[in-house]
Structure formats: structure tokens, C-alpha cells
Amino acid sequence: MSYILALEKDSDIVNEFIYGDTELAATVFVRKYQKFVYSTTLRFVQNYEDADDIAQEVFIKAIENIKKFRSESSLRTWLYRITTNQCTNFTRKKRFFSFFSKDSDNDEYFDIPASDYTPHQTIENKEFEARFQKMLSQLPEKQRETFALRYFDEMPYEEISKMLGTSVGGLKANYFQAVQKLALLLKKEG
Amino acid sequence: MNNNELNKKLSYKQMQESLPDYVFGRLSPEEQAVFESSLPAFPDLQDEVSQVREVFSKVETMDFDRVIEAKTRNLSVRVNDRLNKRKKAGAYAWSMKYAVPTVAVVILFAYMFINKNEINPPQKIHGQITESDPNSANPLNYLSKADAELIFGDGINLDDLHSLYSNNSMGNSLNDIVTLVSDDDKAIDNIYYESLQLKNFKSNDLNSLYNTDGNSMNGIYNELEKLDESEIQSLIEDVKNARI
């Protein structure tokens, strides 16, 4: 267990994949980035089941190619690119097949697990979280991603810039506009 | 923090860009101080700060992480399981990826080979099956000397026939054979039948030499093609016993 905790840096994880125990390295790798990958996927596909499936595929793809990782960017930036590509492919396929299917499973997105609140508070919080996620999904992709990566993941602008391919000044402008729009939507909600 | 830094004023654009981080408490103490010292110069941004703080107060109390944590519980185990299954399936998938097309190509070639043999079925002459060889259009492959002399008549012998067939130009060989044969129509018909077995058969060569209408020719072709090995043998016997 202590050895697992020792694998903190990205370089240690990559070395463990190349020279050490692959399964151990995979466990550490997934645990370190699972929230990041899953939340990113969820923003794109807005469905828990699909997000879970895609997140697994993202990690498998990353693990299969990690020996080719060249440390030109951080592991997180590299993972983000894999995640967005997988989400884009999934969305395309889903759009194609949804033409033949009338099922709509968007309601699952609002199935948020219960917490320590009272039942009334829990329902209220559930509904608010669902409404907020929906507002977030209404933003343009760049603004949504900038907001999420800065607000939820607390990433530095320089790293977000590498992920999204936008300048730091542009990201700050995107962030401000996203917050402005969300504030307007939240105000309308009352 | 020194006075110079405190006195630094931010532009309107810089204030806008720093506003969200200021509202959500993500600025360093120094940056926060600079922002607050510049804010009074921009009343609309002051309103903006108040509004955003108010509407986001509920968002700030939400625990979005809780959902994500619940959903990603044991994700590492599931990823490892899927990875192991893929590795086991890998060998099978590899063989399916390459074996199936290979087998399909082999079947296709086998089918083409079988079909090719059906066009040139083996010939049975004098009780012996002889594989027809279209590349070797030599009557010696499927006619005995006696039978060849009977079929082609007195005006030609096997040696002449052999020397003609060893000529590469089959069209010319067929013309040459016909000139050597008597005017007996039966002989020409029989030549035509034999030539059906030859590679690069040119029907026009014999059609032009056979002065009859197309129906008769077609009728003969059809009849000849219907004959099997026993009927040919019977025909040869009849020719042997014929008295002209």
C-alpha cells in the first residue's frame, strides 16, 4: 500500500508501466485521474452509464499507449485529449443510431445519489444540481470546458491553455463570459 | 506587500478577466488586494461581483464531487478487468481478423479452380480417363492412332496431325487440318467435335469452311456436345464397321 502511495508523480507512474508492475501502475493511474476523466466525460455525454463506459475505454486506451507518452505535456492534458476524442466518437455514433431509436435516456442524468441531508433537502439539492448541470451543457463547448476545468478541477490557466489550445487571455475571457451566462440563467431560475 | 504593488491599477479588461477568480476566492492575497483597490473605478463591475456572488452562493454549497466519487468507486478494478479480458480475447480476435479473410480467399481460389476443371472435364477414351489439357492441344492426348485414322479419314494420318498441332498458331492448324481431310462431311463434323476440346478454339475457321446453314451447324454442335464417352465409343465402332 505504501508503495502505491509513493507513485505520485506522472513520471513515476509511467516508469512503473514500463519497468514495473503494469497492473499496479494501472490502479494508481486510474485512481489519480478517475474523477477528472469521469467528470469530463459526463459533461460531454450527460449520461452516467455512458460516462462510465467511456471513462473505462479512455483509461484502457491510455494504458495501451502509455509507453509512447513523451512527457511533452502532462498526463492530465494527454488524458483530456483522449477523453474528448472518445466522447466525440461516441456522440457521433449515438446521433447516428438515435435516428433509428425513439428511446431517450436523458432522465438518468438527474439520478443523483442521496446524501446526509434530510429527504426534503436531498431532493431539492438533487434537482438543483441537475438544473445546474443542464445550464452548463447549454454553454458553448470552450466556455463550458474552461469553466469546468477552472471551477471544478481548479487547474491553472497555463495547463488549461495546453488542453484547449487557447491562449491564457482567451481562457480568462471565456471564463468570465461563462460565469456571466450562468449567473443570468441562475437568476432566471430564481 | 509593498506600496507599488498596491498602487497598481488594473484595466477594465483585466478586471473582467480576474472577476470570476475573485468571486470564487481563487486569487492569491496579493492579487485580491490589487483587484479590490481597482474595483471602485468600475461601478458596473462592482454590481457584477455582487450579482455573481448572490446567484452562485447555492452552487458553492453543492457537493458535485460526491456524485463523481460515488460513480467512480472501483473504477480501477473495472478497468483492470476489462483490460485483462481484452488481452485474453486479443489472440482470438487476431486470428479472426486474419484467418477469416485468408480462408475466404482460399475458398474463392478453390471454387475458381474447380470451375475451371468443369469447363475442361477429364476425357475417357478406351477406358482410361485422360485429363484434358487445353495447353496441349494434341490429339494424341485423347485419341488412339486407330481411332484418329477412322475419324479423320484416309487423307490424314497421325504424324501429319501431330506436326500441325505442334504449331503454336491453333487457328492456322485447324485450317490446315481441314484441307487435308476429304470432303466427307462427317469427317469435318468430327474434327469440329474434337476441336471443342482444344484451347483457343476458333469456331469461325470451321464455320467458313462448312457450307451449310447455321441451323444445321448449330444442330450438329448441340448433338455432339450431348454425346458422352460411351456414345462416342459406339460411334467409333459404327465407323469401323461401316462399308462405304
pLDDT tens digit string along B33-46? 999 999 999 999 99
- Above 60 in pLDDT, residue B165? no
Which band of pLDDT confidence, cut at 50, 70 and 90, is reported for residue B221? low
- Give the residue carrying C-alpha cell 487435308: B180
Which ranges of chain B would DSSP assign to H, the alpha helix?
3-7, 12-23, 29-38, 43-61, 64-71, 75-119, 145-152, 158-165, 170-180, 185-195, 203-209, 214-226, 229-241
Q: Is the pLDDT of residue B241 over 60?
A: yes
Write the single-letter amino acid at A9: K
Predicted local distance difference test score (pLDDT) of residue B199: 40
CB contact under 8 Å between A56 and B75, yes or no, is yes
So what's the pLDDT on residue B83?
87
Residue B168's pLDDT band (boundaries 50, 70, 90)? very low
pLDDT < 50 regions, chain A? 104-110, 112, 114
Phi, psi of B123 (to 5 degrees): -100, 140
Grid cell, residue A62, equals 491510455
Other CB atoms within 10 A of residue A31 CB = 15
Distance from CA of B16 to the nearest CA of A (A): 7
> Of B145, B147, B191, B184, whose CA–CA distance to B170 is shortest?
B191
For chains A and B, count residue pairs whose Cβ atoms are closer than 8 Å: 98
Shortest Cα–Cα distance, A101 to chain B (Å): 27
Tens of pLDDT, residues B181-218: 444 555 555 555 554 444 444 444 444 444 444 444 55
CB contact under 8 A, B83 and A151: no
**What is the average pLDDT score of chain B?**
70
Give the mutation candidate from B22, B31, B44, B55 for the A interface (greatest A CB count, under 10 A): B55
**Looking at the predicted structure, is the pLDDT value of residue B169 above 50?**
no
The residue of chain B nearest to residue A179, with distances taken between CA atoms, is B20
Beta carbons of B241 and B153 less than 8 angstroms apart: no
User: Residues 6 or more apart from A145 whose CB is under 8 A from it?
Assistant: A43, A163, A164
Which pLDDT does position A147 carry in this prediction? 96
Taking only the tens place, the pLDDT of each residue in B61-73 is: 888 888 888 889 9
- pLDDT value at position A149? 95
> Is B72–A35 a contact, with Cβ atoms under 8 angstroms apart?
yes
B73 vs B157, more confident: B73
CA-based nearest residue to B229, from B134, B126, B150: B126
